[in-house]
Every structure is written in C-alpha cells, then in structure tokens.
Amino acid sequence: MSVVSVKPAVGPTQTPSYPRRFVVLLVFVLGALTALGPLASDLYLPAFPEIANQLGSTEARIQLTMTSMMLGLALGQAILGPLSDRYGRRKPLLISGAIFTVVSLACALAPTADILLILRFVQGLAGAAGMVIARAVIRDFFEGDDIARFISKMMLVTMLAPLLGPILGAQLLELGSWRFIFIFLTVASAITMIFLYFTLPESLPKEARRDFNLAEFGRTVGQLLRDGAFMAPVMAVGFSFAMMFTYISGFSFVSQNSYGATPQTFGLIFAITTIALVIGNQVNILLIRFIRSSTRLAIGCAINTISVIALFALQPLGLDTLWTITGVLAVLMFGVGVLFPNAGSMAMTSQPPPIAGTASAIMGCIQMAMGGSLAALASMNHASEVTFTSMTTVMLGLGLVAVVAVAFTVRIYRAREQALAA
C-alpha cells in the first residue's frame, strides 16, 4: 500500500477537479482524525459518576478532566497549526498521533483524579493535531463553498464519535471498569494512525511552506485577531461551542443524578441529540446550492437561540422531564449542525492558504479554550455540582452572546458581497 499522490494547487482561485476516489478517501481520513478528540471526551461521559466514586473525587473535579482536555486542545492547536505551516501536514500528524496513543493508555492506568487531570491535558495537546491540521488540509485542497461542502461531509464521519461514543462507553462500563474505555481509545487511535500513514498525502508543497519566525508569527496572529472578517465567525463558533459543550460536559451528571437516567439511557439521549446534529449538517449541505453562507449562518443561530431559551424555561414551567429536555436539546443541536460549518468556512476562506494552519490554530484554540473554561461555570456553586438550572443558565448566557457574534459576521460578509458585486 502506498500513499495516495495528489498535487494540491497553491493559492487557487477555484477548486481543482480531484478524482472522486481521492475526495471520498480524504473525507474518511480527515473525519477519523478529527473524530479522535471528540471520541476521547464523549466516550467516557457515561462514566463520570463512576470515575468520581472510584477515584474518591468530586463531580466538579471529574468535570475538570474534561475542561483540562479542552484547554490542552486549545494550546495544542496554537502550537501545531504554525508547525504544520512550517513542516507540512503529515509529520506533525504522525508524531502527535503516536503521543496521543501512548497517553490514552496512561489514562487507563491513572491511579488518582489529579493524575488523570494532567494526562487529559497532555492527551488534548496531542489530539489537537487531528483537528487543526485537518482544517488546514481542507484549505490546502479546496476553495469557497467547496470548503463548507467538504466540512459538512467530513462531519458525517466526525459525528460518529459523539453519536456512538456515549453508547459504546456505556457498554464498555457493562464489561468492567471505566478504564476499559481508555484502552479502547488506545486501540482506536493506533488503528487511525496506521491508516493515516498509508493513505494521506502531503497537502502543503515545500515551496508553499513558511519558515517559522516568532516575530512573524506574532504579526500574523495580531493580523488575524484584528481582522473582523476572521474574528467575527470565530467568536460565533466559540460561544456556540461553549454553549454546546456546557451540555456535553454537564448533562451526564444532570441526567443521572437529577432525573434517574442510567449510563445506557444517557448514551441513548446523547445519540439522539447527535443524530439531530448530523441532520442539521446534511440540511446545510442541501442549502448550500440555494442560500448564501451568511443566511445559512443566521438560520442556524436563530434555531439555537429559540431552543436555548425554551430549554431554560422548561424547569420554571414544570415541563422538565428527561424526554422533553431531550427534544429541546435535539432541536438545539440541529441548529449547531447548520451553524458550525458555515461559520468555520467563512473564517477560513477569509485567509490565504499560506497561513491556513495558523488561522485554523487560532480558531481552534479560541473554540476549545472558550468551551473548556466557560462550561466549567455550570459547576461553580456552593455544592460544586452541576444542576439543570446552572447548566441551562450558562447555556442561555452563551447562546445570547453568540447571537451578537453572528450578527457582526452577517453584517461584515454581506458588506463584502455588496462591495464585490459593485
């Protein structure tokens, strides 16, 4: 078996015509790479109460293992994105993948919550490669709406992680300890890296690479942070992701401790909401042909806003049963499936290919840092426990701020469209 050879265009104005077999292969390889990070978080969600019990820790402390990984993902993207601009995409992916595999095994052997907390941070650092470099590879190969279309297709593979992760994690708990979950993750990571080694070509030619210079890197980052066309959609992604991640990291405790769900029931609920996310993603693909990206972004944001307000109102109205909550969360996740690929593609297409790795790193870093830090607010109460009220209050606040970011994004991009049409 040999590495597929396809030569990407450097700075094209239109996506070249690639063989269908190559595009399909790229979807699955990049989807699997991007899925490793979410799988590392979603797989052990049903085990949160058991981990807290076995390691003699608190709910808030175990939730911090998730926050720790998110912060690792954030920092890792900030480091690995620029490195991929300097050394190409393959080498950083392979090295980081090997580290991720080893650390996953170490997590399975963690004797205390504090050690698990540290290992999860390192796991996040290594797992960031698949997320940030995958976006850079897409930018290397594609242009314009083709990026949004490809991201939507790739998300079908990526979303298998949150769809199957909690269900699989719950079944692994039936077989034995929560440690089985990290052993499974070790094997999955090793298989993915072997597949990557033999199938993914280098997408950034040597002549297009940038020598890493700290001063130049600082200037590039400063340029990106000052660019409204980039930062507005990035903040839309960041606040929306933080809203979603508050649900992801907190609902395991809420559903099992407050509503009597079993780990298996939680896995089923999580699967339902993930299916809604996938459906939203597919609807977005259909809309690409008929509706411009700024309108698609606004539609996704509107669905999110209505849903999070409804979720917050369930308990005061006495309607907060496990299944009404699930229904509202499913609608919210549908909106996320529409919002994410459009905001992400709008941010990436605002920048030229030579700095795609750095742009992807900044976007991923902000997204994960906001998700990891802001979601932790849900457990910052006197009992250090996540409740339905604390979870939905944080989600509502983040959702409303996301509306502001989306409004700025739509305004900026429609002004650009009018300028180009003039």
Instruction: pLDDT tens for the chain, 422 residues: list them.
Output: 445 555 554 444 555 566 677 777 778 888 888 888 878 877 887 888 888 888 888 777 887 888 888 888 888 878 887 788 888 888 888 999 999 999 999 999 999 999 999 999 999 999 888 877 887 788 777 776 777 677 777 776 676 776 677 778 888 888 878 899 999 999 989 998 888 888 887 877 777 777 777 788 888 889 999 998 899 999 999 999 999 988 887 888 888 888 888 888 888 888 899 889 889 988 988 888 888 888 999 999 999 999 999 999 999 999 989 999 999 999 999 999 999 889 988 888 888 877 777 787 788 788 878 887 787 777 665 556 778 888 999 999 999 999 999 999 999 888 877 776 66
- 260 by Cβ neighbours in 10 Å (0-12 / 13-18 / 19+) ranks as exposed
Largest distance between two CA atoms of the chain: 65
Is-contact 67 376, C-beta < 8 A? Answer: yes
Domains of the chain: 20-205+220-421 (1.20.1250.20)
Query: What is the token pair recorded at 317?
Result: 């109205």
Spatial distance between the Cα atoms of 422 and 417, rounded to a whole number of angstroms: 9
Which residues are within 8 A (CB) of 389 and not within 5 positions of it... i.e. 6 or more apart?
A: 315
